[in-house]
Amino acid sequence: MTAIWWIRRDFRLCDNPALVAAALAGDVLPVFIRDETVDALGAAPKWRMGLGLAHLMERIEATGGRVVLRAGDARVIIPALAREVGATCVHWARLYDKDAIARDTEVKSTLKSMGIDAHSHGGHLLFEPWTVATKTGGYYKVYSPFWRAVKETDIAPCLSAPKVRWAEAPQSDALADWALGAQMRRGAAIVEPHCHVGEAAAMARLETFVAAHADVYQERRDFPSEPVCSGLSENLTYGEISPRTIWHAGMGALKAGARGAEHFLKEVTWREFAYHLLYNEPELAHKNHREGWDTFAWSEDADSADVTAWKQGRTGIRFVDAAMREMYVTGTMHNRARMIVASYLTKHLMVHWRVGRAWFEACLIDWDPAANAMGWQWVAGCGPDASPYFRIFNPDGQLEKFDKEGVYVRRWIAEGQRAPSSTALSYFEAVPKAWGVSAQGLYPKPIIDLKVGRERALAAYSERNA
C-alpha cells in the first residue's frame, strides 16, 4: 500500500507525526507541491525554502527514497497523484494561515470523496490553536494569560525518525527548473553562508544554545552584537526542527538550573501565541486588529524617499541602518533591532506597518506568517496586546543601552570606517547595483530629526484620540 507524505513546512524526519503515520500505513511517497502559496513567498523565504527542500531531498535519497515534485494547484495535484500511484492515504502536517486552511479543507474533502484516507497532523506547533481557550470559550488576545494557560501543559515526548519503506516514485519536476531563488540575484551568494540549513544544523544550534547561552539568555538576549539568541526561527519556519524538540530541550535546561531557560520557553510560546491569534483572526497579516486605526495618518507609499532610505539602510540613524543591512546580508535580524526598525518606520516616519511587513516578507529567511504579522502590529500599536503607540523607541538611546561599544554598528555600517569589517562590506555586494551605493560614499545625514519625528507621531496619535 502506498501512503503519500505531503511535505509542506516540515522538512525533517525526526518528530514528524505526519511522516510517522504515513510510514505505519504503507510504503511512503514523499511529495512537495509548488503551489500558489509557495509562489506567493517573498524572494528570500522562497529561496531559503528551496535550500531546505534540496537538503531534505538529499537526505531521503541517501536512504533510498525520492521526493516527487509537482507544480500547480495542490487541490488538483494531490488527488490526481494519489490516483496515479494508487495511494490509499495522504498525510500532512497542518498549517494555520487562511489560504492553507482553505486549500487543505478542499484537498481533504476531494480525497475522501475518492475513498482515500486524508489525515492532517500537528507538529508545526506545540498547542493546536483551538485547544487553548479562555474561561468564556474565546481566544486569548493578551500574552500573559495565554502563557499561564499553557505553561503547565504536558507536552508529549518527541517521536523518533521512523523506519520508512519508500515507495517507487513516479515522474517528478527537477528542483533546479523551479528556480526558487530567481529573485535573489546577487544576494544569494552573500546570504547563503549565514544560513543553517537542515535538521542536523538546527539540532546543532539548539545544543549550542542550551550548553552556552540558555543560562544568560534573559540578561543578554537584547544585545544585538552577542550570539545569545538561538537563531532557531530560520529552522522552525521550514519545520527543520519541531517546536516540541525545542521545548523539551528548554525544559531540560530549566531543570538543570539554566537561569534564562524559562524566559526562552516564554519566547517559544510567543510563537504559539502568534499562531493562536492568526488562526482566530485570519486577517491579522493585513488588517489592523484594533478599531480606530484604519484612518490613522500612516502613508502606504512603499516607494517614497523615506521608505527607500529605510529599506536601503540609509536613514542616517545608525541602529536602524545597521539592522536593515544585517537583514539584507544575513536574511535575519536581531529581535531588538526588529522592534527598533519597526517603531522607526511606523512612528518617526509615519509609514503603515503593512509596508514594513511586506519588506520583511521579501527579505527574511525566517519569515513566518504569524510571528511577522503579530510583531508588526505589536510595535505599531494597533495589534492585540500591543505596545502602546506613544511608546516610541529612541534608536540612539537604544544604541547607548544595547550597543554602547558600537560593535553591532561597526559590524554593519562601513561608511566612515578606516578598515570596515567584511560583514559591513558584504552589504554592498548583496544589494542591487541600481541602488548606486558604495562603501566609499558618505554616511547619510538623518532623513528626519529624531525629536521632530517623535513629536509628529505623538501629534498624529493625539489627533486620532481627540
Ligand X SMILES: Cc1cc2nc3c(=O)[nH]c(=O)nc-3n(C[C@H](O)[C@H](O)[C@H](O)COP(=O)(O)OP(=O)(O)OC[C@H]3O[C@@H](n4cnc5c(N)ncnc54)[C@H](O)[C@@H]3O)c2cc1C
Q: Does 366 bind ligand X (CB under 6 A)?
A: yes
Contact region with ligand X (CB under 6 A), list: 92-100, 290-298, 316-324, 367-375: 367-375
Concerning whether 147 is annotated as a catalytic residue, the answer is: no
Query: What whole-number distance in Å separates Cα of residue 196 and Cα of residue 444?
Result: 33
Q: Is 368 in the site for ligand X (CB under 6 A)?
A: yes
- Choice from 2, 120, 218, 230 touching ligand X (CB under 6 A): 230
Instruction: Give backbone dihedrals phi and psi of 152, rounded to 5 degrees, phi first.
Output: -90, 0
Identified catalytic residue from 5, 293, 298, 310:
298
Adjacent-strand bridge partners of 90: 4, 118
H/E segment holding residue 328: helix 318-330
Catalytic member of 353, 359, 378, 412: 353
Q: Which residue is closest to ligand X by CB? A: 375
**Nearer CB in complex with ligand X: 70/221:** 221
274 binds ligand X (CB under 6 A): yes
User: Can you spell out the DSSP letters for 151-197?
Assistant: TTPPPPPPPPPPP-PBPPP-----HHHH-TTGGGTTHHHHHGGG---
99 assigned to a ligand binding site? no
The site for ligand X, by CB under 6 A, has a size of 27
Distance CA 368, CA 233 (A): 8
Q: Give the active site residue among 199, 267, 326, 361.
A: 267
> Does 231 sit near ligand X (CB under 6 A)?
yes
Is 326 one of the binding residues for ligand X (CB under 6 A)? no
The piece of 55-63, 146-154, 230-238, 306-314 that touches ligand X (CB under 6 A) is 230-238
- Cα–Cα distance between 263 and 267 in angstroms, integer? 6
Beta partners for residue 117, in sequence order: 89
The set of cell numbers assigned to 222 is 537584547
Contacting range for ligand X; rule: CB under 6 A; set: 110-118, 174-182, 336-344, 396-404: 336-344
Query: Between residues 5 and 360, which has the closer beta carbon with respect to ligand X?
Result: 360
Q: Closest approach of Cβ 180 to ligand X, in Å?
A: 18
| Strands across the sheet containing 27-34 | 68-71, 27-34, 2-7, 87-93, 117-121
- Answer yes or no: 267 catalytic: yes
Tell me whether residue 376 is one of the annotated catalytic residues. yes
Is 47 a known active-site residue? no
Binding test (CB under 6 A) with ligand X, winner from 81, 190, 229, 457: 229
In 2-63, which ranges are continuous DSSP H helix? 17-25, 36-39, 43-62
Query: CB of 334: closest distance to ligand X in angstroms?
Result: 6
338 binds ligand X per the rule CB under 6 A: yes
With CB under 6 A as the contact rule, which of the stretches 12-20, 181-189, 332-340, 427-435 interacts with ligand X? 332-340
Strand partners, 29: 4
247, three cell numbers: 521545548
What does the block give as the cell for 241?
Answer: 526542527
Radius of gyration of the chain (CA): 23
Tell me if 16 contacts ligand X by CB under 6 A. no
Nearest to 80 by CA among 170, 166, 17: 170
> Of the ranges 158-166, 228-236, 300-308, 453-461, which one interacts with ligand X (CB under 6 A)?
228-236
Catalytic residue check, 270 = yes
Q: Which of 436, 401, 399, 431 is nearest to 322 (CA)?
A: 399
- Catalytic residue list: 267, 270, 298, 335, 353, 376
Q: Which residues bind ligand X (CB under 6 A)?
A: 221, 229-233, 236-237, 267-268, 270-271, 274, 335, 338-339, 342, 360, 364, 366-368, 371-372, 375-376, 379
Give binding residues for FAD as ranges: 217, 264, 366-368
